[in-house]
Structure 1
Amino acid sequence: MGETTFIHITDLHIGNPAVPDDHLFSDTSATLTRVLEMIGTMDQTPRFIVASGDLTNRGDVESYYQLKAIMAATDLPVIYALGNHDTREGFYRGMLERSTDLDAPYDHDQVIAGVHIITLDTTTPGQIGGSLTPEQFDWLAGKLDAHPELPKLIVAHHAPALGDNPPWDHWRTIDFDQSQKLAQLLKGRNILGILSGHIHHDRFSVWHGIPVIVGMGQHAATDILTLDVLRMVDGGSFGIGTIRSSGLTMALVPLPQTRTELNRYDLSALRAKQEAALAEAAK
């Protein structure tokens, strides 16, 4: 195969301009508009855009109308995944004009430019962390058997848990046991990489031989220099992916940023509580 270029955006957090939102820390509509303008200036036109979840900040239909209006500026195919800030009903009604099966996970796949893109809905309605149902694993197994000759990209808002033990901050990932099951299912399947978001900082990992690309997104950045405080600062980026016969390359395009503090949440008490629960469970 020749080279294929694509764009990875995530955590768009688009809001309804008519409704004030204290949990929206930047002008995300303006940021997304600017990102699309930048993509339009690229010398090498991308073949598609991956938007890996938290498409809106509140999950209401009107916010998806706003997102749809902004995304109309691009003619590129866009692969959408849902995140914990999204709602399935809001997405289906606002983006797809769909009025049936509004509770169904938004799992889908397609082939673009010789790449088989499989998108998983890792959202758990009402919760922050990610999960996959047995039915979704069955669906994924079937899709992995399709187009066996093609390399595959997996898109999921929550990245898998990377460690060898359940993490205390489990809400940042797909459930640990399900992550282990996912690793076994993806083994030997010609997976180019997994594209995710959710944690609001750029992070590249190799997980059981599979690149896991997490994007910072376009809303706000997590200050990873702090541990017991979830400190959100001004910042953002998007990724340019290049697929070659040798594999996947990701390059980052940083957006202008000041790292001004936008919000903070003390995690020390929550961490102590979770570690105590894990210690008790291990007895």
Structure 2
Amino acid sequence: MDYLDFEMPIKELMEQYDKCISIGEESGIDVNESCKQIDAKLLEVKKEIYSNLTPWQRVQVSRHPNRPYTLDYIKGLTNNNFIELHGDRAYADDKAMIGGFGKLNGETVMFIGQQKGKNTKERQYRRFGMSNPDGYRKALRLMKLAEKFNKPIVTFVDTPGAYPGLEAEERGQGQAIALNISEMLQLKVPVISVVIGEGASGGALGIGVGNKVYMLENTWYSVISPESCSSILWRSWDYKETAADALKLTPDDMLKQKIIDGIIPEPLGGAHSDEEQMFEILREHLTKSIKELSKLSEKELTKTRQEKFLKMGVFKG
């Protein structure tokens, strides 16, 4: 298990707890009471740390190397009953964007999301979750397929942004994202979007237009990352914490501004601390949302989705 800087007190107590268990097993001495005391202290410290996270610390948790990614959620939610579909039928199969049909509590759902990697080789293969235009076109193709068969769509947002390379611009990055936004507003099936990690810029919005938009507790959603914002305003990454505060990118900020519809709680210590519990929590929310949205007509689904996004950014002069 990897630990962030502010999680060091948790690491120390975890090591003490493991050592306590080890001593008991090796010596045959009853150390249950001592281990219980350490465990109680560990729970107390976790609550104290995770109930007082700063915006920048939430950004750090959203990038935790042990945090579950899109494929983990899909496999966990579907019990591996998932068929991945490939290609945009125009240029290539973008490995940073994945999607396919899966079973959620017996119901067929189209799952789409950005996939990062768990090690250096995977991250290079997935381009750190940054999609090319091919990825957004693949996502749109799969959304249209779900619409054809009248299946709900669930998208998982986890990207530091769309891929900024020259080839992406040459193949129409901006146009691909804009088209996705336009087409998603017109889909006639339920669409639920969940920010499971990083939700940066148009790269996130390209699959983030839903009837319901949720954020996990330790995620962020913004037009720009704190580091990039700091670099533009102060010509340095040294002010990333200040930028994170100013950007109002936390789930609480997004809910207050009515950008999202709800915050999905994570297990104490973050989604990476108990993946199975996180999958169950998410399964419950998705099942409930799909059930509610399935009661709406095609016209109501598109109308409410469009009205939701048209209300954002409205101001009076």
Which TM-score band applies after superposition, normalised by the shorter structure?
Answer: 0.3 to 0.5
Larger-Rg structure: 2
Larger relative contact order (Cα-Cα within 8 Å, sequence gap ≥ 6):
1
TM-score normalised by structure 1 residue count: 0.36
Higher helix share: 2
Higher strand share: 1
